[in-house]
Structure 1
Amino acid sequence: MPKHTVQIERIIEQVDIKGQYIQLAAPIQLSGQLNIVELMAQYLVNEASEQAAIQIGVDEAGRGPLLGSVNVAAAILPAAWAGLIEDEPLKNTPLSILTDSKQLSEKKRDLLYPLVQQHAVAHIVADIPPAVIDQVNILQATMLGMRLCTEVLLQIVAKYLDEEQKTLFEILIDGNRCPDVDYASLATVGIDKSAIDCQAWVKGDARHTSIAAASILAKVSRDKTMYALDAEHPEYGIAKHKGYPTRAHMEAIAAHGVLAAHRRSFAPVRKVLER
């Protein structure tokens, strides 16, 4: 019998982009968990003629700030909890207040964060550091994070799939485009491209429960890194502005300089460095 859960820990130092290996300017760290028992109970042990597709919601937090990582998360919820928020699949569940993280107070997000981790069938968070953002630009860094979260989660899940039972996956991305998933690498673990349906949903974190769950993981995990930075550099007021280009943040940069955690490719930071 497999153990109840699998901890996911990956450090990515180079990536294959369309057949070309790119050495990253700094490692990308991914961490999460898969509940094997729940995966099998919810999705893989099913004698019904139609098996539920596994929905993987993916979202990011921190594209706009001048400081710190961009965090990307992916989540798989129990089958009965996965679906459109408007259909209320989360009614009378521990995640009943879950919606787009931006619509929730920080107190509610902090309340939901451990509940999502506890009740999700699987979840993963990628931390894409400022050096990688500066290396490839914020859009590509975010898409890379979405790609890595998707691929790593699929690779882990693939170990427990029934080879005779074709499992379908719906990758639900918050935004207007899907990442360039490395389908060739997924084929080596038994997941064919035809089994994956990637869908981009504008404001998807307010539409799909699994994207909303990912938005909580991404947002709260990023906030935690901001509070840690604030403790190291209290003079920057990071706990208040979370790295966004507020007046107080710009005044702190002018007074105290640019931190290693600042994104040097972002215009306000670049202009300070050029002076």
Structure 2
Amino acid sequence: MRFARLLLYRAGLVSYQSRIIIPIMDRRSSQQRTPSEPPRRSPRFLATQVSVVTNDSEDEQNENPLLQKKPKKRSRSVKTTTTNTAEKKPRTTTKKKKETRDLDNTETTCLPRTREDSLKEYSFVMGIDEAGRGPLCGPVVTAAAIIPTNIAGITDSKQITKEEQREELFERILQSPNLRWAVAVIDAVRIDEINILQATLEGMRICAQAVLQGQVEDYPTQPEASIQHKGCYIVCGATDAAGKFTTLKPVTEKAYALIDGNRLPKSMPCEAEAIVKGDSREFSIAAASILAKVTRDRLMHAYDALYPEYDLKQNKGYPTAFHMKAVRDHGATIIHRRTFAPLKHMEMDENGKIKVQSKD
């Protein structure tokens, strides 16, 4: 009977003033409730429920999910756009070429002259730096430069990873107008005598003296490197206003030296100032670092031809695994620093052959 009434109600032929909820598991428990009473939760059974809801209350319809009308599915409107496939260009994945630094752009690649520009009362301001303090063999090289002209690409030589780029900058520095420069080479024997710090400071003082006085007393001037000479030698030069090589004449005006590091050499020929990390902050110090670095690299290439067993062209004298194996097999040469570890822990004969190696 109730099922028939439900069908008539859904067909819109009958209406009721009350809601009747009849669980299938217990039909006797059905009760009539007035619309003012709150709806009771029907007991949860395994079977479904049959509900009758009047049209007078839409809220009661919403409460019973069995009597809710399913909304009609809206057909999605697909936008059809006519595109000319012939005009579409295929996507091409092209790798961006790595931009190379333009050496002619001085505004973006040239270090500033912050400290140098503040020293207006001095006629000449030179930068001084070194290369080769850490390697196991080879000399330590110091350089000083008074370079009035800005050159693109001048920065700390350690930040210039390509050797050919350092070589190019080296040549451009030597061809710049009104240049004064000097390079001092302190060999391994001298380093072992006075230690690497004192050898470096000594080389810096000699360079400053050569740049300002035009000559160096007590030390010979040679045009190229020679491993037969013990101690130190210096190479210096200058250019005129056209950038051509000329004689390095003494300076009578006031001069000032900017030195990379935190220590100053003794007996400097002019006033000086130490700047920590100056090779990455001041233009003149960076230029001196390039002169020192390229000079030492060229020396190591020459030493590699004399001692090919040690691969000095590649390791530049640093104690790589290949280099240390060569030392154990062939011994140490005259350009090796005997006071540097691990050589200082090895006992050698007069020819550099290792006799006994300590466990250290």
**What TM-score, normalized to structure 2?**
0.52
Contact 2:212 2:251 survives alignment (8 Å) = no
1:203 offset after TM fit, Å?
Answer: 1.0
**Aligned residue number for residue 34 of structure 1:** none
Counterpart of 2:172 (choices 94, 115, 135) is 115
Pick from 321, 324, 328: which aligns with 1:247?
321
Q: Secondary structure at the match of 1:59?
A: strand
| CA distance in 1 between partners of 2:275 and 2:251 (Å) | 28
1:101 to 149, 157, 174: 157
Q: Does 1:141 align with 2:227?
A: no
Which residue number corresponds to residue 346 of structure 2?
272
Counterpart code for 1:241: N
Deviation at 1:123? 0.6
Distance, in Å, in 2 between the alignment partners of 1:226 and 1:170 is: 32
Does the 8 A contact of 1:67 with 1:243 survive in 2? yes
Determine whether 1:203 maps to 2:277.
Answer: yes
Residues 181-216 of structure 1 deviation map (CA, whole Å, 9 limit, x = unaligned): 25xxx5xxxxxxxxx431111111111111111101
* Contact 1:58/1:72 (<8 A) preserved: yes
Q: Percent identity?
A: 47
Q: Which has the higher strand share?
A: 1
> Are residue 61 (structure 1) and residue 131 (structure 2) matched?
yes
Q: Which residue of 2 aligns with 1:236?
A: 310
Q: How many residues align?
A: 195
Please report how far the alpha carbon of residue 158 of structure 1 lies from its aligned counterpart in structure 2 after TM superposition. 7.0
- Return the alpha-carbon distance in structure 1 between the equivalents of residues 313 and 289 of structure 2: 19
1:171-250 to structure 2, matched below 5 A, reads 171-182=257-268, 186=269, 196-250=270-324
Which structure shows the higher helix fraction?
1
| Residue 153, structure 1, aligned to residue 211, structure 2 | yes
Check 1:160–1:59 CA distance in 2 against 1; reply closer, same or farther (3 A cut).
closer
Displacement of 1:52 in angstroms is: 5.0
- On the 8 A contact 1:75/1:210 being kept in 2, the answer is yes
User: So what's the TM-score if we normalise by structure 1?
Assistant: 0.67
Cα RMSD after superposing both structures? 1.7
Contact map agreement 1:60 1:72 (CA 8 A) in 2:
yes
Deviation at 1:168, TM superposition (A): 2.5
Provide structure 1 residue ranges, at least 5 long, that are not aligned to the other structure. Answer: 1-49, 82-89, 162-166, 187-195
Supply the distance in 1 between the matched residues of 2:138 and 2:127 (Cα, whole angstroms).
23
Instruction: Report Cα offsets for 1:111-169 as digits up to 9, x if no partner.
Output: 111111111611100010111000000000000000111122221277353xxxxx322
Deviations 1:4-60, CA, capped at 9 Å, x for gaps: xxxxxxxxxxxxxxxxxxxxxxxxxxxxxxxxxxxxxxxxxxxxxx66531110000
Residue 10 of structure 1 is matched in structure 2 by none
Which one-letter code corresponds to 1:108 in the other structure? Q
In the alignment, the residues of structure 1 paired with residue 251 and residue 312 of structure 2 have an alpha-carbon distance, to the nearest angstrom, of 42
Task: Spell out, residue by residue over 1:230-266, the C-alpha distance to the aligned partner (whole angstroms, 9 max, x if none).
Answer: 1111111111100011112111111111111101111
Q: Secondary structure at the match of 1:148?
A: helix
Distance of 1:203 and 1:116 partners within structure 2? 21
Question: Quick one: which amino acid aligns to residue 331 of structure 2?
Answer: G
